[in-house]
Amino acid sequence: MNPTIYEEACRKFREAFDHEHTAAAYSPGRVEILGNHTDYNEGFVLSIAIDRGTCFLVSPADDGVCRCVAGDVMETATFGAATPQRVAEPTWLNYIIGTFAKLQESHSSIADCAFNGLLLGNIPLGAGLSSSAALEMSCGLALCASYGLSVDKLDLAQLGQTAEHDYAGVRCGLLDQISSLYGKRNHLIMTDFRTLAVETIPLPEDICFLVCNTRARHALVDGEYNRRREQCEEAAAFFAGRLKHPVSALRDVTTTEWEQHHADMDPETARRALHPIGENERVCIGRDLLAKGDVESFGRLMFESHASSRANFENSCRELDFLVDTAGNIPEILGARLSGGGFGGSAVMLIHPNDIEAVSSAITAAYADEFGHACEVCSVAASDGGHII
The pLDDT assigned to 129 comes to 83
The pLDDT assigned to 224 comes to 83
Burial classification of residue 256, based on how many CB atoms lie within 10 Å of its CB (0-12 exposed, 13-18 middle, 19 or more buried)? exposed
Enumerate residues 6+ apart whose C-beta is below 8 A from 174: 39, 157, 158, 161, 191, 193, 196
The pLDDT assigned to 226 comes to 84
> Do 55 and 389 contact (CB within 8 A), yes or no?
yes
The pLDDT assigned to 173 comes to 74
What CATH number is associated with residue 14?
3.30.230.10
Is there a domain that residue 77 lies in?
Answer: yes
The pLDDT assigned to 232 comes to 97
The pLDDT assigned to 221 comes to 44
Is there a domain that residue 385 lies in?
Answer: no
Last residue of a domain, one of 176, 202, 228: 202
Last residue of a domain, one of 202, 231, 258: 202
The answer to whether residues 112 and 252 belong to one domain is no
Is there a domain that residue 121 lies in?
Answer: yes
How far is 360 from 378, CA to CA, in rounded Å? Answer: 8
The answer to whether residues 140 and 250 belong to one domain is no
Is there a domain that residue 388 lies in?
Answer: no
The answer to whether residues 49 and 192 belong to one domain is yes
What CATH number is associated with residue 281?
3.30.70.890
The answer to whether residues 255 and 136 belong to one domain is no
How far is 256 from 297, CA to CA, in rounded Å? Answer: 22
Number of domains comprising the chain? 2
The pLDDT assigned to 222 comes to 57
The answer to whether residues 153 and 212 belong to one domain is no
The answer to whether residues 66 and 122 belong to one domain is yes
Instruction: Tell me the pLDDT of the chain (389 aa) as tens digits.
Output: 777 999 999 999 999 999 999 999 999 999 999 999 998 999 999 999 999 999 999 999 999 999 999 999 999 999 999 999 999 999 999 999 999 999 999 999 998 899 999 999 998 776 778 899 999 999 999 999 999 999 999 999 999 999 999 998 877 778 999 999 999 999 999 999 999 999 999 998 888 999 999 987 655 445 788 899 999 999 999 999 999 999 999 999 999 999 999 999 999 999 999 999 999 999 999 999 998 999 999 999 999 999 999 999 999 999 999 999 999 999 999 999 999 888 888 999 999 999 999 999 999 999 999 999 999 999 998 999 999 99
The answer to whether residues 37 and 103 belong to one domain is yes
The answer to whether residues 121 and 170 belong to one domain is yes
The answer to whether residues 242 and 181 belong to one domain is no
* 176 noted as active-site residue: yes
Write down the number of H helices and E strands in the chain.
Answer: 11, 12
Q: Which residues of 214-240 are buried (b: 16+ CB within 10 A; e: fewer)?
A: bbbebebeeeebeebbebbbebbebbe
Q: Choose, from 63, 72, 166, 176, the residue flagged as catalytic.
A: 176
